[in-house]
Chain A
Amino acid sequence: MTALDVSPKVISALIGAIYDCALDPSRWENALGEMVAAIECHNALLSLTDMRYDRLLLTRGFGMNQEWWQAFQDKHVPEVAAQLSAILASWPLDKPFVISRDMSPEMMRGAAYIEEGFAAEGMIDVLQCFLIGSPKRFAGLAFGRHRTQSLFGDREIELAELLIPHIRRAVTISDLLDVQALERTHFAAALDALRCAVLLTDASGKIIHANKSAGKMLRDATAIRDQRGILRATLAPAAAELSQAIKLAASEDFQIGKTGLAVGLSEDGSSPVLAHVLPLATGELRSRFGPAAVAVVFIRNREDARDNAELLAATFELTPAETRVLSCLLAGRSLAESASELRIGAATVKSHLDNIFGKTGVSRQQDLLLLASRLSPPAELI
């Protein structure tokens, strides 16, 4: 015969309040309040502990006397943690642990947190639910009863047993979203470190993500701009071409080569700014709901073509004299021009160049230029 006297309607609402916390953790206080009412107890505390560092990661409470709780934490946390670990070693995770029922007399005797800690708040019994118990972390939910109430009975234990899987699932969903959000932040940071602009758009060109360089480029608005959330090339002929390229990348049956569709964004005569449009491989994730990124647009920064003599020098351990010669050559000077600019003899320039060739492993000036452009760092400091 079961002691559970709570109606399905109340149960359904209570469980609903728990899952509301999955997407919005600020609602835990509300959910704990509803649980305290249903379980008919004094207070409740949800806690998440990083076991490796004995660090409380999250606590949410209801009916907690803050002053008392602070004092309790200062004095008893290591003791409670040690006992919880001991209990967890042999206790089924899904079964609530009730101090008045399940604690052995030996454990009781040594427990100052019960005699001093709980007594100070007038608490006479605690029902502890285990949500997650791994070597790395512990998540638990404790309900407390006050001396004006009775000890926990079958009814409360059954109700807690019913709720535990839901609370655990809600915490897990919350965690999953946290981890995903953190990973997204990582990836976004890696893209931000890139010197070239990276934009993710949907089929209509709506900007779903823009890295740091792209943000700067959009604000400059010389090559691309943000027109009410839509990526547009600033020059009219390029605008149509870019929209078309994004549309093509979005159409799943269209095959685009590995280097993507190239669209020129700059005016004739100025140094080239090129957008490379590629489809994203997330086709199966496209859904009816909400926009999904379908295309990625890379735009190389104009500044990329700058002088990379210093970088080449550092990489290939060139001497200062060789670096100066390299710098002149990369700026487009001939050997003779370099010699007169550096005020050294033509033979000296030639000998420096031979050394540069030797160290970099290339044998022609053209290749030096190409090598320099390849060396241009993919990323910049922020």
Chain B
Amino acid sequence: MLESEVLSALIATIYDAALDPELWPVALEGIRDFVGGCAANFYWQDVSKENAGVFHCVGIELSYLEAYFQTYTKLNPLYPAAAFFTPGEVFGSDAVIPALEFKQTRFYREWMSPQGMVDSLAANLEKSVTSVAALAVIRGERDGMVDEEARRRMRLVVPHVLRASSIGHVVAEHIRGKAALTDALDRIAAAVFLVDAAGRTVFGNESAGVLLGSGKLLRNGPGGLVATDKVANRALHYALGASARGEAEFDLAGTVILLSSEPDQRWLAHVLPLTSGARQQSAFGHSAVAAVFVRKASLDVPSPLETMARLYRLTGSEVRVLHAIVDTGGVPDIAVALGISESTVRTHLKRPFEKTSTHRQVDLVKLVAAHASPFS
């Protein structure tokens, strides 16, 4: 096969690795064989020589890798000077240390020689103030010392490794950014659906998945999101249609849809048109036009009393009384429930009122409600 064809296939592998980092070992093998060497690695090293690490490596036995990190990171005579080359510039070990001198070093004698390694050439890929990431091809006895042909071939490959590595960063950054936003949405107690103009769900958070899984109130039909309740379904599709056309100035109460009106099973859906930012036309991706938030209108929320106790430094008996206010009601009822006198209840209440700067029971109840966390 022609060198150009071999090179083209190798470059393809390198960019595949940018999208799928698990392919780096395959790409490294290709680079090693194309340049001529017994090993290749993609590593980072602190300029201070204290630390080093390998991202990917082929042709070096694990025991030697471990020995490198334990003992030879500090002894490698190529560093720190090797870290000073401009990213992309190809250099052999002789650019840092004369070959004869290199062979005398303990690093060469104890780490390279026993593995049958005679020389190396490398290129820095990325530099920070304290560390450098680099690609190296290590030459074996069979390959001989680095020559002009090896340098030429390395120069053909390195620009692509550099570019692939920056593409990889951008892709990873995109995925990471998206994952963080998804994660934040997953923490919201309400089920969140993003819906496109045709009514299809383009995203659902964790709660949305659970809700769809139960299949009672909402399901994904061929034509999009379907509410089981017929009246609710009509209202839902009316609201989604209006969002898609961008015509309706919904008022908050108007967009609330009761998905189920069974006692103790009141589920509400809020339909919100999305801003133009999210509606931007994309070549192929579906564009969401509305967000649907679904949640149960119930009182079974995790109690925020623990949080309140900590924030307002409430004692055990004060928490008990506060809990009773929310759970039981007025002072006489509390006295009966807790088996204490009404005056004791009032005494216990005095401190929470002071500590929270409230004066009435109704304000205390509101305060407790305000401390409920916005997620499950």
Residue A285 CB within 8 A of the other chain: yes
Q: Are A177 and B171 in contact (CB under 8 A)?
A: yes
- B374 / chain A contacts, CB cutoff of 8 Å: 196, 276, 298, 300, 378
Nearest 5 A/B pairs, CB to CB: A189-B278, A373-B369, A187-B181, A269-B357, A293-B180
Which of A258, A264, A364 is B311 in contact with, Cβ under 8 Å? A264
**A90 CB-CB contact with B under 8 Å:** no
User: Out of B11, B175, B185, which one reaches A15, CB within 8 Å?
Assistant: B11
Cβ of A162 and Cβ of B282 under 8 Å apart? Answer: no
Q: Does A104 contact B (CB under 8 A)?
A: no
In the complex the two chains form, is B167's CB within 8 Å of A184's CB?
Answer: no
Docked Cα-Cα span, A272 to B182, in Å, equals 28
Given contacts A8-B3, A15-B160, A378-B270, contact A209 B283 (CB under 8 A): no
Contact in complex: A311, B256 (CB < 8 Å): yes
Q: Which A-chain residue is minimally distant from B1 (CB atoms)?
A: A2
Q: CA–CA, A272 to B170, complex, Å? A: 41
Answer whether residue A361 sits at the interface, using C-beta atoms and an 8 A cutoff: yes
CB neighbours (8 Å) of A121 from chain B are none
> Do residues B156 and A8 form an inter-chain contact, with CB atoms below 8 A?
yes
Stretch at the interface among B91-99, B294-302, B339-347: B294-302
A-B contact pairs, 11 of them (CB 8 A): A4-B5, A48-B283, A162-B8, A179-B284, A190-B185, A269-B357, A272-B311, A296-B183, A313-B253, A374-B369, A379-B293
| Distance in Å: Cβ of A370 to nearest Cβ of chain B | 5
12 further A-B pairs in the complex, CB-CB below 8 A; given A173-B18, A379-B270: A193-B293, A259-B307, A268-B357, A296-B187, A315-B266, A315-B297, A361-B266, A366-B325, A372-B369, A373-B370, A377-B293, A378-B188
A361–B260 Cα gap in the complex (Å)? 13
Which of A17-25, A112-120, A144-152, A346-354 participates in binding chain B?
A17-25
Interface: B2 (CB within 8 A):
yes
What residues of B have a CB within 8 angstroms of the CB of A76 in the complex? none
- Give chain A residues whose Cβ lies under 8 Å from the Cβ of B254: 314
| A16 close to B163 (CB less than 8 A) | yes
User: In the complex, what residues of B have CB within 8 A of residue A310's CB?
Assistant: 253
For A260, the closest partner residue in chain B by CB is B373
Using A182-B282, A183-B203 as known contacts, say yes or no to A300 and B177 having CB atoms under 8 A apart.
no
Q: Is the CB of B203 within 8 A of A374?
A: no
Per-residue interface assignment for chain A, residues 168 to 200, with 1 indicating a CB less than 8 Å from any chain B CB and 0 otherwise: 010001011111111111111111111010101
User: In the assembled complex, how far is the CB of residue B341 from the closest CB belonging to chain A, in whole angstroms?
Assistant: 22
Interface string of B80-111 (1 = CB under 8 A from A): 00000000000000000000000000000000
B73 within 8 A of A: no
Structural contact, B256 and A187, CB atoms closer than 8 A: no
Is B337 engaged at the interface, CB distance under 8 Å to the other chain? no
CB distance from B309 to the nearest CB of A (A): 11
| Contact of B173 with A290 in the complex, beta carbons under 8 Å | yes
Q: Is the CB of B181 within 8 A of A179?
A: no
Smallest CB separation, A83 vs chain B (Å): 23
State whether the Cβ of A369 lies closer than 8 Å to any Cβ in chain B. Answer: yes
B365 adjacent to chain A (CB < 8 Å): yes
Residues of A near B274 (CB, < 8 A) are 186, 189-190, 193
Contacts of B172 in A (CB 8 A): 285, 287, 289
Q: In the docked arrangement, what's the CA distance between A282 and B374, Å?
A: 21
Query: Is B230 part of the binding interface, using a Cβ–Cβ cutoff of 8 Å?
Result: no
One digit per residue, 1 when the CB lies within 8 angstroms of any chain B CB and 0 when it does not, for chain A 362-376 equals 101111011111110
- Residue B146 CB within 8 A of the other chain: no
Asked if A262 and B373 make an inter-chain contact with CB atoms under 8 angstroms apart, the answer reads: yes
A137 interface residue per 8 A CB criterion: yes
Question: Is B174 engaged at the interface, CB distance under 8 Å to the other chain?
Answer: yes
B159 sits at the interface (CB 8 A): yes
Residues on A with C-beta less than 8 A from B251 are 381
Chain A CB within 8 A of B69 CB: no
In the complex, are the beta carbons of A184 and B272 less than 8 A apart? no
Asked if B371 lies at the interface with its beta carbon under 8 angstroms from chain A, I say yes
Say yes or no: is A82 at the interface (Cβ < 8 Å to chain B). Answer: no
Query: Given the complex of chains A and B, what is the CA–CA distance between A166 and B7 in angstroms?
Result: 12
Q: Verify B169–A289 contact, CB threshold 8 A.
A: yes
How far does the alpha carbon of A4 sit from the alpha carbon of B188 in the complex, in Å?
Answer: 59
Which residues on A sit within 8 Å (CB–CB) of B4?
4, 6-8, 11, 162
Q: Which residues of A contact B192 (CB under 8 A)?
A: 190
Please tell me if the beta carbons of A272 and B8 are within 8 angstroms of each other in the complex: no
* Docked complex Cα distance between A346 and B18 (Å): 74
CA A16 to CA B19, docked complex, whole Å: 16
Of the candidates A165, A176, A190, A289, the one having the most CB atoms from chain B within 10 angstroms of its own CB is A190
Q: A322: which B residues are within 8 A, CB to CB?
A: none
Contact of B7 among A12, A57, A190 (CB under 8 A): A12
Q: Are A184 and B178 in contact (CB under 8 A)?
A: yes
Q: Choose among B156, B171, B275, B371 the residue that contacts A192 (Cβ–Cβ < 8 A).
A: B275
Cβ-defined contact, B256 with A315, below 8 A: yes
Assembled-state Cα–Cα distance A296/B167 (Å): 27
Contacts of B180 in A (CB 8 A): 200, 208-209, 280, 282, 292-293, 296
The reply to whether A186 and B326 contact each other, CB–CB distance below 8 Å, is no
| A15, B14: Cα distance in complex, Å | 12
A141 to B357, CA, bound (A): 72
Within 8 A of B (CB), among A21-38: 22-23
Encode contact with A along B8-29: 1 for CB under 8 Å, 0 otherwise.
1001100110110000000000
Q: Chain B residue with minimal CB distance to A364?
A: B329
Q: Shortest Cβ distance from B358 into chain A, in angstroms?
A: 9
Complex Cα spacing A305 to B368, Å: 11
- Cβ B369 vs Cβ A369 within 8 A: yes
Q: Judging by beta carbons under 8 Å apart, are B370 and A300 in contact?
A: yes
Question: Judging by beta carbons under 8 Å apart, are B307 and A8 in contact?
Answer: no
The distance from the CB of A139 to the nearest CB of chain B, in whole angstroms, is 10
Roughly how many angstroms separate A377 CA and B274 CA in the complex, as a whole number? Answer: 16
B232 interface residue, CB < 8 Å from A?
no
B179 touches A282 (CB 8 A): yes
Minimum C-beta distance from A23 to chain B (A) = 6
Name the residue on A nearest B183 (C-beta). A280
B246 to A: closest C-beta gap in Å? 12
Interface residues as binary, A183-223 with B (CB distance below 8 Å gives 1, 0 otherwise): 11111111111101010100000001100000000000000
